[in-house]
């Protein structure tokens, strides 16, 4: 690698050109695209009081060749890899846990590249630059007296690289749906055990009997009015049971304005045309990500139809390879989603705290491996049970 590489730190996505940034983003990491991140910043969802950007970047001359977006945090909300017990333990020991640095996409529990590197680099040069970026972040963290650095929902190879630089690995799990080349929904159902096939058919039959009309909206079929409508769905869900709403109405309008080409909206309406529920999803190439759901009134099984079955239908029709529907997941598991590992890496600056947490993580990893194996051994997917 050419040693004439300059590494610096920025605190705003506005300092980067969209074209320069997005050239570094792989196809399976759409939430790292410039439009999404600067949309969060420009609408005030991040950057004012929390999720303060700390963007480590590398240039070769005037060319942007690598980026490691991270955030200075004063709490742990919106991360989905939970460390609240660690923070409490630090507090009991009289050690400050906040601020900390988090390498993740805000409010987005989706695996993707955390290190954005020039796609023309060789594997050796790629790994070398990733190490330089992470070491620079560690130096920044030490100067700012943060307690720790957390790389969340990273790729497995990124976790391995972090381990070489003193980061402890952590394992968790999610539930993802995989397209095995199905020609229709019934063919997918044929891969499940009889009991689950019967339940899913019954759920869809009951929804069909309500007369609700479902639309899948992409591209120019998405209008500004949908931004307002889906924000109301999102807000209603959080006000009922899911706690803090991290996004504001302006963000939804911004996404329709600048990121419409990545949006896929599922809208459920009454026979008279009144919208009643919907899901806000994003997609790129072979990957479909379910993000936000809401309904203005309760109808049994409507959540399953909007969040799971409509997305599976779309993935089959458009030959997408995978559907990810976010954190949590017992309902997903029972409806043909496979249990898959999620990777993260953690560096604790305090020696005593680091030793205790690393010991804990070693035990947690073994437990998670057993959990993943046990879930899949009892999966409704017949091939996983047999395997």
Question: For residue range 1-31, what is the model confidence (pLDDT) as tens digits?
Answer: 566 899 999 999 999 999 999 999 999 999 9
Residue 81 and residue 170 in contact, taking contact as beta carbons nearer than 8 Å: yes
pLDDT band at residue 265 using 50, 70 and 90 as cut-offs: very high
Cβ atoms < 10 Å from Cβ of 120: 9
What token pair was written down for 277?
A: 């529920």
What token pair was written down for 101?
A: 């640095």
What token pair was written down for 216?
A: 């899948």
* Rounded average pLDDT over 366-370: 97
* Strand 287-295 versus strand 322-324 pairing type: parallel
Provide CB contacts within 8 A for 72, sequence distance 6+: 51, 52, 54, 99, 100, 101, 144, 146
Residue 231 and residue 249 in contact, taking contact as beta carbons nearer than 8 Å: yes
* Rounded average pLDDT over 224-249: 84
Nearest residue to 162 via CA among 137, 140, 143, 142: 137
* Rounded average pLDDT over 331-347: 96
pLDDT band at residue 241 using 50, 70 and 90 as cut-offs: low
pLDDT of residue 145: 97
Using alpha carbons, list the distances in angstroms from residue 280 to 142, 167, 223, 267: 39, 34, 13, 9
d(Cα 61, Cα 63) in Å, to the nearest integer?
6
Nearest residue to 345 via CA among 25, 131, 98, 121: 131
Question: For residue range 204-224, what is the model confidence (pLDDT) as tens digits?
Answer: 999 999 999 999 999 999 999
d(Cα 233, Cα 255) in Å, to the nearest integer?
16
DSSP 315-349: HHHTT-SEEE--S--HHHHTTTPEEEEEEEEEEES
Domains with residue ranges and CATH for the chain: 5-173+340-377 (3.40.630.30), 180-320 (3.40.630.30)
- The pLDDT > 90 percentage for the chain reads 93
* Rounded average pLDDT over 147-176: 97
Provide CB contacts within 8 A for 185, sequence distance 6+: 309, 312, 313, 316
Count CA atoms closer than 13 A to 116's CA, side-chain side. 29
Nearest residue to 321 via CA among 114, 182, 200, 185: 182
d(Cα 263, Cα 222) in Å, to the nearest integer?
8
Local structure of 271: helix, strand or coil: coil
Q: Crossing angle for the helix pair 156-164 and 123-143, nearest 10 degrees?
A: 60
pLDDT of residue 3: 65
């Amino acid at each position: 690698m050419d040693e004439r590489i300059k590494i610096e730190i920025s605190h705003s996505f506005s300092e980067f050109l969209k074209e320069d940034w997005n050239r570094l983003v792989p196809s399976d990491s759409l939430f790292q695209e410039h439009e999404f991140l600067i949309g969060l910043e420009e609408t005030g969802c991040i950057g004012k009081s929390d999720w303060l950007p700390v963007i480590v970047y590398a240039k070769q001359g005037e060319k942007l060749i690598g980026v490691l977006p991270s955030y200075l945090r004063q709490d742990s909300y919106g991360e989905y890899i939970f460390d609240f017990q660690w923070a409490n333990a630090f507090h009991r020991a009289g050690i400050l846990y906040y601020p900390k640095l988090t390498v993740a996409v805000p409010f987005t529990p989706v695996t993707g590249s955390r290190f954005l590197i020039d796609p023309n680099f060789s594997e050796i040069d790629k790994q070398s630059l990733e190490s330089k970026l992470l070491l620079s972040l560690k130096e920044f963290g030490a100067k700012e007296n943060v307690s720790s650095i957390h790389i969340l929902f990273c790729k497995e190879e990124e976790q391995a690289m972090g381990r070489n630089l003193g980061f402890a690995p952590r394992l968790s799990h999610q539930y993802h749906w995989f397209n095995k080349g199905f020609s229709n929904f019934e063919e997918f159902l044929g891969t499940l055990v009889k009991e689950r096939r019967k339940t899913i058919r019954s759920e869809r039959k009951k929804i069909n009997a309500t007369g609700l009309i479902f639309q899948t909206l992409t591209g120019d079929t998405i209008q500004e009015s949908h931004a307002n409508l889906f924000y109301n769905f999102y807000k209603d869900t959080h006000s009922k049971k899911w706690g803090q709403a991290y996004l504001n109405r302006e963000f939804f309008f911004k996404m329709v304005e600048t990121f419409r080409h990545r949006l896929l909206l599922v809208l459920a309406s009454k026979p008279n045309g009144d919208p009643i529920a919907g899901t806000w999803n994003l997609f790129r190439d072979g990957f479909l990500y379910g993000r936000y759901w809401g309904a203005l009134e309760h109808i049994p099984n409507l959540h399953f139809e909007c969040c799971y079955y409509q997305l599976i239908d779309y993935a089959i029709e458009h030959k997408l390879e995978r559907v990810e529907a976010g954190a949590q997941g017992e309902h997903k598991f029972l409806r043909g989603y496979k249990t898959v590992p999620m990777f993260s890496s953690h560096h604790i600056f305090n020696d005593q705290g680091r030793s205790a947490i690393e010991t804990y993580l070693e035990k947690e990893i073994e437990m998670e491996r057993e959990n993943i194996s046990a879930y899949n051994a009892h999966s409704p997917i017949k091939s996983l049970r047999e395997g």
